[in-house]
Amino acid sequence: MMRTMLLTAGLLAGLATPAFAHENGVIRLASKSLALGAELAMRGEKLPKNATLRLELRGALSTFALGTVSTDSAGTFQLGRSLPPDVRAGSYVVVAIAPDGDKVAQADLSITPAPA
């Protein structure tokens, strides 16, 4: 009886442990604060190798597609892209998403009003 309880507890503990399919990558932004209309420059590291990742800009109320990027054999990329024209000032997160839908990296970004 005790052996069965221990075996059951061990199995349940194993089920509660999440299995991660990807390492946590890194997105490094050239600037953590941009004015509306500016170019977003970034570098990705420690990402899935030779993969196509989807990039998104996520805010509290809206998500904007930033397109896709291909990583090299070291799991890195570099990219410069204009902010989407319908983005508003606010706090956002730049997110890299693997082909299986898992989030593999993110970086915080503040977008400020365009200079007068």
* Strand runs labelled E in 6-89: 26-29, 33-35, 39-45, 52-59, 63-70, 77-82
Residue matched to tokens 């896709």: 68
pLDDT tens digits, one per residue of 22-79: 668 999 999 999 999 899 999 999 999 999 999 999 999 999 999 999 999 999 999 9
Q: Lay out the sheet containing 103-112: strands in order across.
A: 33-35, 103-112, 90-97, 52-59, 63-70
CATH number of the domain at 22-112, please?
Answer: 2.60.40.3880
Distance CA 105, CA 43 (A): 11
Lowest-pLDDT range, 7-16, 30-39, 40-49, 102-111? 7-16
Q: What residues does each domain of the chain span?
A: 22-112
Beta bridge partners of 80: 41
**φ, ψ for residue 34 (rounded to 5)?**
-130, 150
